[in-house]
Amino acid sequence: MNDGPTVAAVARRGLWSDARRRLRGNRAASAALIVLAAIALVALIAPALSPWSYDSLDWQHLAQPPGSAAAHWLGTDRLGRDLLVRTLHGVRLSLLLAVLASAVSLVIGVLWGAVAGLAGGRIDGAMMRFVDVLYSLPYLFVVIILTTLFTRGSLIVLAVSLAAVGWLTTARMVRAQTLALRRREFIEAARALGVPPHAILLRHIVPNVLGPVAVYATLIVPQMILFESFLSFLGLGVQEPQASLGNLIFAGAQEMESAPWMLLVPATALVLLLLALNLLGDGLRDAFDPREH
Amino acid sequence: MLKLALRRVAALIPTLLIIVTVSFAIIRLAPGGPFDEEQGVSPAVRANLDRLYGLDQPLPVQYLRYLRALAHGDFGPSLRQRDFTVSELIGRGLPLSATLGLCAIAVALMAGIPAGIAAASWRGPGADLAVAAIGALGVALPSFVIGPLLALVFGIHLRWLPVAGWQPGAPRYLVLPVLTLALPLAAALARLTRASLLEVLRAPFVRSVRRCCRSRAISAPPSPFSSPARWWWKRCLVSQGPGVTSCKAPSIVTIRSSWA
């Protein structure tokens, strides 16, 4: 028996490996991924390396510029708290809140949109009318109401109010995707086989919707960071002595005449974080759904 | 298009009703009242105060009175700044907010759309990277970061413009707040313009126009008034609604940071 010429194994080509290849080719997104990993690493490790904690006061060095005083690599604020540790604490808090709020809003949005899309008719109309009404409420109003009803500094309340705003767009998007999926043959086949609707939802619709949702998720996280920083800047979000990038920027803006580093350090951190997340999100979106120019 | 606009305006009324009801309910149902911080007030005086402001009536009656007053445009007296009505306070702030918002939208439109058109027609090497970076920078620099940074550079270091304050009739007080509001909006507009323009330029009818009218130089984007451009303007303007309202919230930011 002859062996024919051995053919080299065919490289695997699927949705994820194609996307990974395109992502690696996108220089901006790859750079953003590296920057993001670096920020995450530093935010996790550096506070343990520094002798200061985010709320410890150093009475000897109040409002020192960066590099001048003992182990305060980025200076101190008006109360003598180390700015580097506070900024990293803020980065951690912002990322945690944003990821939590995004996850919750994605779960709610996907379920709401998928149910509405699958149910159709009056249920769909009612659910989407509810989404429209909530969409037209100004979001600051919702947040102010929630923070007035509950305690101010509570992180849970903040995460809930962030998620309450974020799920609407997800629901709309998922409903549109579901409506497109409904007409496909495999859904028809599943229904003909007598698969109950909740099983169709969980086993067929949701996994197929997850692709665009995953891309949207990487873009919603920076939006959440932005929103949370905005709320903290206004005093509605994270309260002192907890550090969030928003209230660090607010405190820095008040001192910027005499101590500009107090503004520049958290502002740079926020801008870098948002830039990296947005570039990565754009890269992921292009990787999953490339459009040739 | 007109029907859509009318339908959206008509949807405003139930929305306003919901907002009014919810805010009324929240404030009245929350524990405590507006006069709890007054010290040394005898119960008779408290009872009089409650009667004066209508706080001793049952809640539905208060709600109906409030709605009737709102229908006449009367928002009631301010409980924080006791000498003013709420309408007077709004009347003091609204013209300023409106001026800032409208100027910011105008600046954003004038800067963002040409920037987007330029970005769409730039074909050199590294164009994609630069455009993506600038677009991402526009999103990553929110108004509450740009505001203090602009004030730091132009107000404190260079001393070209005032850091805060307001003088009616002096345009230099407008510059920094308007720039702060306009820059994020202009960046978003530029991104949207570029994406929409690229999409339209790839459309079959544009390509056929190019092929059959090769003598005209249509390497630049088509005229702003041709039919593909009209379709694109409509799409662009419909999506500007959120941009318009988003100019109001950041104006709180600029005013807050100018109080500080």
The pLDDT value recorded for residue B102 is 94
> According to the model, what pLDDT value does residue A67 have?
78
Selected residue of B19, B26, B145 to mutate for chain A interface (largest A Cβ count, 10 A)? B145
**pLDDT at residue B249 in the model:** 43
Residues of A in contact with B149 (CB under 8 A): 263, 267
- Asked whether residue B235 carries a pLDDT value surpassing 60, the answer given is no
Contact A141 B198 (CB under 8 A): no
- Our CA angle for A232, A133, B17, nearest 5°, is 95
**Cα–Cα separations (whole angstroms), residue B149 to A264, B93, B145:** 8, 25, 6
Q: What is the pLDDT of residues B43-65, one digit of tens each?
A: 888 888 888 887 888 888 888 88
Taking the C-alpha atoms of residue A277 and residue A243, their distance in angstroms, rounded to an integer, is 21
**pLDDT tens, B28-41?**
777 667 777 767 77
Nearest-neighbour CA in chain A from B180: distance (Å): 14
Question: Is the model's pLDDT at B244 over the cut of 60?
Answer: no
Instruction: Indicate if the pLDDT at residue B106 is higher than 90.
Output: yes
Q: How confident is the model at residue B129 (pLDDT cuts 50, 70, 90)?
A: low
**Tokens matching residue A82:** 């180390």
pLDDT reported for residue B184 = 86
| Least confident span in A52-61, A162-171, B169-178, B212-221 | B212-221
> Which one of A278, A280, A282, A289 makes the best mutation probe of the B interface by having the most chain B beta carbons within 10 Å?
A278
Nearest CA-CA partner of B85 in B70, B67, B100, B97:
B70
From B132's Cα to the closest Cα of chain A, the distance in A is 7
Residues in A touching B152 (Cβ below 8 Å): 256, 260, 263
For residue B96, give both structure tokens: 């300023």
Write out chain A residues lying below 8 Å of B129, CB-based: 27-28
Residue A76 β-bridge partners? A82
- Using a CB-CB cut-off of 8 Å, the residues of chain B touching A132 are 11
The answer to whether residues A281 and A219 touch, using CB atoms and an 8 Å cutoff, is: yes
A233, A236, A254: best to mutate for the B interface, most B CBs within 10 A:
A233
Q: Give the residue ranges of DSSP H helices in chain B.
A: 2-10, 12-29, 43-52, 59-71, 86-121, 127-140, 143-150, 172-201, 204-212, 227-238, 241-245, 248-259
Report the gap between the CA of B84 and the closest CA in chain A (Å). 23
Which of A137, A230, A279 is closest, CB to CB, to B15? A137
Strand partners, A82: A76
Of A148, A234, A293, which has the smallest distance from its Cβ to B252's Cβ? A234
pLDDT at B45: 84
Option in B149, B151, B245 nearest A267 (CB) = B149
Report the pLDDT value the prediction gives residue A290, as an integer from 0 to 100: 58
Q: Which positions in chain A touch B260 (Cβ < 8 Å)?
A: 250, 253-254
**Long-range pairs of B88-97 with CB within 8 A, sequence gap ≥ 24:** B96/B166, B97/B248, B97/B251
Q: Which residues of B touch A (CB under 8 A)?
A: 11-12, 14-15, 18-19, 22-23, 26, 30, 128-129, 132-133, 135-137, 139-142, 144-145, 147-149, 151-152, 156, 198, 245, 249, 252-253, 256-257, 260
Cβ B144 vs Cβ B218: under 8 Å: no
Collect all residues from A whose CB is shorter than 8 A from any CB in B. Answer: 27-28, 132-133, 136-138, 140-141, 145, 148-149, 222, 226, 229-230, 233-234, 246, 249-250, 252-254, 256-257, 260, 263, 267, 270-275, 278-279, 282, 293
Residue B101 banded pLDDT, cuts 50, 70, 90: very high
d(CA A83, CA A73): 8
Q: Which two tokens stand for residue B75?
A: 């928002």
CB contact under 8 A, A267 and B15: no
Judge: A249–B19 Cβ closer than 8 Å, yes or no: no
Per-residue pLDDT, B229: 54
**Cα–Cα distance measured from residue A60 to residue A45, given in angstroms and rounded to the nearest whole number:** 26
Check if the interface score ipTM surpasses 0.95: no
Most confident by average pLDDT, B107-111, B172-176, B215-219:
B107-111
Three-state DSSP class for B141?
coil
In angstroms, what CA-CA distances link A133 with A127, A158, A161? 10, 22, 16
Contacts of A102 (CB under 8 A, 6+ apart): A163, A166, A217, A220, A221, A224
What residues of chain B lie within 8 A of the CB of A25, using their CB? Answer: none
The C-alpha atoms of residue B21 and residue B60 are separated, in whole angstroms, by 11
Point out the residues of chain A with pLDDT beneath 50: 292-293
Phi, psi of A76 (to 5 degrees): -125, 165
